[in-house]
Structure 1
Amino acid sequence: MLRSMYSGVSGMKGFQTKLDVIGNNIANVNTTGFKSSRVMFKDILSQTSKGASAPGDATGGTNAKQVGLGSTVGSIDTLHLPGSAMTTNNPTDLRINGDGFFLVKMTGDQDVPYLTRAGDFHVDANRQLVTSDGLLVADSSGGAPIQLNSSTTSFSISPDGTIVQQLSDGTVDNQTKIGVTKVINPEGLEKIGGSLYRATVNSGEEGAVTPMEANSTENGTGAIVAGQLEMSNVDLTGEFTEMIVAQRGFQANSRIITTSDEVLQEVVNLKR
C-alpha cells in the first residue's frame, strides 16, 4: 500500500480535531470567563531509506533520504489571555484584573477547590456567596465558604477582595475576604466544564491550590473589580480564518487519498 494514503488519513484526522476545537471556541464566544484553545501539529516519525554519510578524502558527505509518514496532533493549548470586560454594575459580578483565579467548592467538600475566571456570583438563602451552579465561593484565609453577616443591610467588595458589610446597627464588618489563587502553569489546568478548572500535577505545586489575597503585588494575583465580568477571549475573526485553513487542509488531504487510490487502481489494472 502507498504511504501517501496513510499520510492523508493522518492529516484528515488532525484537521478534524482542529475543526472540533474551533467549533468549541465559537460556541463559547459569549461564555463568561471562557479561554479559547488551539491545536498544534507535529510530523510523525519519518522512514529512512538511506542514512547520512560523512565527507571523505575523495567525496563529500551525503544527506539522509527520508520519507515522512504524516502528521499528528502535537498539543491542544488553552490560551489564558485576558478577555474583554463587561460592565454590569451588579455588586456580586466580579472580574480579576490579572492572572488569578477564583476558588469554588462543593458543600462539605474538603478536597482541592476548583478554579474559575467566571465571577457571576450570587447570594443564596443562607447568605452564602455562590456561583450560578450553587458552588461555594471560598475565602482567602483557608478556603472556607463565604457567608454574609445576618444583619447586613448592604455590602461592597474592595479590590483586595474584602467584603465591606454595613450592619443594621451602624457598624462595619470587613473581616471576610474573597479568596483567589495563582498557578505557575495555567495551561496545565484541566477543563472540567461549567467554566471550571481543576489543578493537575503540571499546573504547579503538585496539584495543590493555595488560597491567596487579591491585589497582591507579591503574588501577582490581580485586583478584583466589582460590577464587571470577564467575557470570552475568543477572537471570531481569527477563528473563522483558522476554520477556512482547516477546511482546505482537510480537502487537500482527502485529495491525497483519492489520488493514491487511483494509483493503486492502475497497479491492479496491470494484470488483466
Structure 2
Amino acid sequence: MMRSLYSGVAGLKTHQTRMDVIGNNIANVNTTAYKSQSMTFSDLMYQTTQAASGANPTTGVGGINARQIGLGAKTSAIKTAITTQGASQTTNDPFDIMITGDSFFIVNNGQNNYFTRDGSFYVDGAGNLAMTSTGYNVMGWKVDPNDASAIKQDTVSALRIMTTENMTYPPEATKSARISGIIDKNDTNVNAAAGKIMNLEFYDNQGYKYTAKLSVHSTTTDGTFTVQLDDILDSKGKTVLADKTKASLQQNNTNVTAPVLEFDLKNGSFKNVGTAGGTESTLTLHFDTGTFPSFTDITIDFSKCSNLNNNGSSTVSPIRGDAKGNGAGRKVGEMSGIEIQKDGMIYANYDNGCSRLLGQIAVATFANASGLAKEGDNLYSATQNSGDFDGIGKDITTGGGYMNTGVLEMSNVDLSSEFTEMITTQRGFQANSRIITVSDTLLEELTNLKR
C-alpha cells in the first residue's frame, strides 16, 4: 500500500482535531473567563530508505544525506492562552468580581480546592460566598480574633460573610460633643428669657436617641454668657428629666447652675471661667446613674465658639462627637450592603454609618499557569507541571493585581482569528483528502495493469 494514503489519513485526523479545538473556542465565545486554546502540528515519524553517509577523505567522494519519507502529521501541543486577560463585562452586581493579573480565585467543593477566573459569586443560604454556577465555596482568610481590623493570613477557609452577628452593628452611647459658631451679643434670642436654644442629639448605650435642650443667655457683663440645661427629651418628644437634679452641667466634676462663658471681644477667643473656677473650655453633661443607668456622661467642647458681630444672628449649634468624630455614639446598625475592595477585603456597611471587616478573598498563583488541568465548569486543578498550591494563598495586590467588583471577565476568544484558523483548517483538510483520492487513483491504475 502507498505511504501517502496513511499520510493523508494522519493529516485528516490532525486537522479534525484542530477543528475540534476551534469549535470549542467558538462555542465558548461568551463563557465567563474562558481561555482560548490553539493547536500546533508536528511531523510524524519518518521511514528511512537510505541512511546518511559521510565524506571519504581518501577517495574524495562526498557524503550522502539520508533518504527519509514522512508518514504525515500529528498533534504537537494544545496550548491555552491562560494568562491573556479577557475584556470586562459590566454587571453592576456587587458579588461579580473580575481579577486583573495572573491570579486565580480559590474555591472548594467540600473536599478539594479548585481554581477559577470566573468571579460570578453569590451568598448562599448558609451565608457563604459561593460560585453561582457550582455552589463551591469561595476561599479566603478570616478576621484576626485578636484584632477586628486585621486579617489573619492562615490556611484558607470558606468565607461566611452573612451571619447573625454580622447582620447588625452594636450601639454605643454618646461620650463627646462640640459646640461651634458665633454668639452675637445683639441677638434677640440670646437676650430673651428663653435664651438661644441648642438641641444636642445623643444616644444611650442601647441605641435610643435623646435630645438635650441647652440654652445660651446673655449677662449684664458685656462679652459674657451663660449656658444651661433646660430639658432632656426622648425620641417621641417626651421629657425624661422629671427631676431636674438627676442631670446637670458640670465643670471640674462640680455641679454648676450656670457656668459663665467668657469671650474676649478683641480676638474672639474663648475660655470658661464658671462659678466652679478653672479655664477649661469644656463642660460635662452629667447623668445620675441611678436614674439613667444606660446613659454616659458627655463632654461638651465650647472652644470653637466665638463672640463676634454677625448682624444680630447667633449661629452656635452642637454636633455629636469630638473634632475627629470620636465619641459620637450610634444607634443599632442594620446591614445595608457589602463592599469588596480591590485587595479582596470584604466589609459590611451599616445604616448607622459604621462598617465591619468580614474577611478577605485569597488568590492563588502558579509558576506555570498553563500547566493547570481543566476540570470543566470554568475550574482548574493543580498538576505537577503547574506547581503546587500551598493551602494559604496570597493577597492579590502583592503581585500587582487587583479585583474589580460589578464586572466579570469575558472570554478571550478572538472570533476573527478563529474564523481565519477555521478557513486554513478547512483547506488543509480538503488537501489531505485529495492525497487519499489521488493515491486511490494511482492504486486503481496499478490494478488495471493486468488488463
TM-score range, shorter chain: over 0.9
Deviations 1:31-72 (A, max 9, x none): 110000111110111111111122222122221111111110
Alignment match, 2:107: 104
Moved more, 156-165 or 232-241: 156-165
Measured after TM superposition, the shift of residue 270 of structure 1 is: 1.1
TM-score, normalised on structure 1?
Answer: 0.93
C-alpha distance in structure 2 between counterparts of 1:213 and 1:175, whole Å: 15
Deviations 1:243-268 (A, max 9, x none): 00111100100100011111111111
Alignment match, 2:78: 76
**Per the alignment, do residues 86 and 2 of structure 1 end up closer, same or farther by CA in structure 2, a change over 3 Å counting?**
same
Alignment match, 2:384: 201
Measured after TM superposition, the shift of residue 87 of structure 1 is: 2.0
| CA contact 2:345–2:359 (8 Å) conserved in 1 | yes
Alignment match, 1:250: 429
C-alpha distance in structure 2 between counterparts of 1:248 and 1:263, whole Å: 23
Query: As a proportion of its length, which structure holds more strand?
Result: 2
Structure index of larger Rg:
2
Three-state SS of the structure 1 residue aligned to 2:450 is coil
Q: Which amino acid aligns with 1:199?
A: A
1:40 aligns with 2:40: yes
C-alpha distance in structure 1 between counterparts of 2:426 and 2:24, whole Å: 16
Alignment match, 1:137: 138
| CA contact 2:374–2:381 (8 Å) conserved in 1 | yes
C-alpha distance in structure 2 between counterparts of 1:52 and 1:232, whole Å: 50
Deviations 1:204-229 (A, max 9, x none): 12x6654221111xxx2621111111
**Per the alignment, do residues 93 and 259 of structure 1 end up closer, same or farther by CA in structure 2, a change over 3 Å counting?**
same
C-alpha distance in structure 1 between counterparts of 2:39 and 2:124, whole Å: 40
Measured after TM superposition, the shift of residue 119 of structure 1 is: 0.5
Measured after TM superposition, the shift of residue 168 of structure 1 is: 6.0
Three-state SS of the structure 2 residue aligned to 1:154 is strand
Query: Unaligned stretches of 5+ in structure 2?
Result: 142-153, 168-334
Q: Which amino acid aligns with 1:5?
A: L
| CA contact 2:47–2:70 (8 Å) conserved in 1 | yes
Q: What number of residue pairs does the alignment pair up?
A: 265
Which residues of 2 match residues 41-190 of structure 1 at below 5 A? 41-57=41-57, 58-80=60-82, 81-106=84-109, 108-109=110-111, 111=112, 113-132=113-132, 133-140=134-141, 141-150=154-163, 151=167, 152-167=335-350, 170-190=353-373
C-alpha distance in structure 1 between counterparts of 2:79 and 2:42, whole Å: 14
C-alpha distance in structure 1 between counterparts of 2:162 and 2:29, whole Å: 37
C-alpha distance in structure 1 between counterparts of 2:357 and 2:392, whole Å: 22
| CA contact 2:39–2:78 (8 Å) conserved in 1 | yes
Three-state SS of the structure 1 residue aligned to 2:347 is strand
Measured after TM superposition, the shift of residue 97 of structure 1 is: 0.6
| CA contact 1:89–1:228 (8 Å) conserved in 2 | yes
Moved more, 31-40 or 123-132: 123-132
| CA contact 2:161–2:358 (8 Å) conserved in 1 | no
Alignment match, 2:397: 215
Higher relative contact order, structure no. (Cα contacts within 8 Å, ≥ 6 residues apart): 1
Three-state SS of the structure 2 residue aligned to 1:5 is helix
| CA contact 2:155–2:391 (8 Å) conserved in 1 | no
| CA contact 1:199–1:209 (8 Å) conserved in 2 | no
Measured after TM superposition, the shift of residue 149 of structure 1 is: 4.1
Aligned counterpart in structure 1 of residue 442 of structure 2, from 244, 260, 263: 263
Measured after TM superposition, the shift of residue 128 of structure 1 is: 1.2
**Per the alignment, do residues 170 and 149 of structure 1 end up closer, same or farther by CA in structure 2, a change over 3 Å counting?**
farther
Three-state SS of the structure 2 residue aligned to 1:269 is helix
Measured after TM superposition, the shift of residue 192 of structure 1 is: 1.2
| CA contact 1:48–1:66 (8 Å) conserved in 2 | yes
| CA contact 2:156–2:391 (8 Å) conserved in 1 | no
Query: As a proportion of its length, which structure holds more helix?
Result: 1
| CA contact 2:97–2:119 (8 Å) conserved in 1 | yes
C-alpha distance in structure 2 between counterparts of 1:158 and 1:142, whole Å: 21
Measured after TM superposition, the shift of residue 175 of structure 1 is: 4.6
Three-state SS of the structure 1 residue aligned to 2:367 is coil
Alignment match, 1:16: 16
Moved more, 84-93 or 145-154: 145-154
Measured after TM superposition, the shift of residue 90 of structure 1 is: 1.6
Q: Which amino acid aligns with 1:213?
A: D
Alignment match, 1:226: 405
**Per the alignment, do residues 10 and 209 of structure 1 end up closer, same or farther by CA in structure 2, a change over 3 Å counting?**
farther
**Per the alignment, do residues 3 and 159 of structure 1 end up closer, same or farther by CA in structure 2, a change over 3 Å counting?**
same
State, as a whole percentage, how many aligned pairs show the same letter. Answer: 46
Measured after TM superposition, the shift of residue 100 of structure 1 is: 0.2
Alignment match, 2:26: 26
Query: Unaligned stretches of 5+ in structure 1?
Result: none
Q: Which amino acid aligns with 2:396?
A: A
| CA contact 2:89–2:409 (8 Å) conserved in 1 | yes
Q: What stretches of structure 1 move > 4 A for 4+ residues in a row?
A: 167-170, 207-210
| CA contact 1:181–1:221 (8 Å) conserved in 2 | no
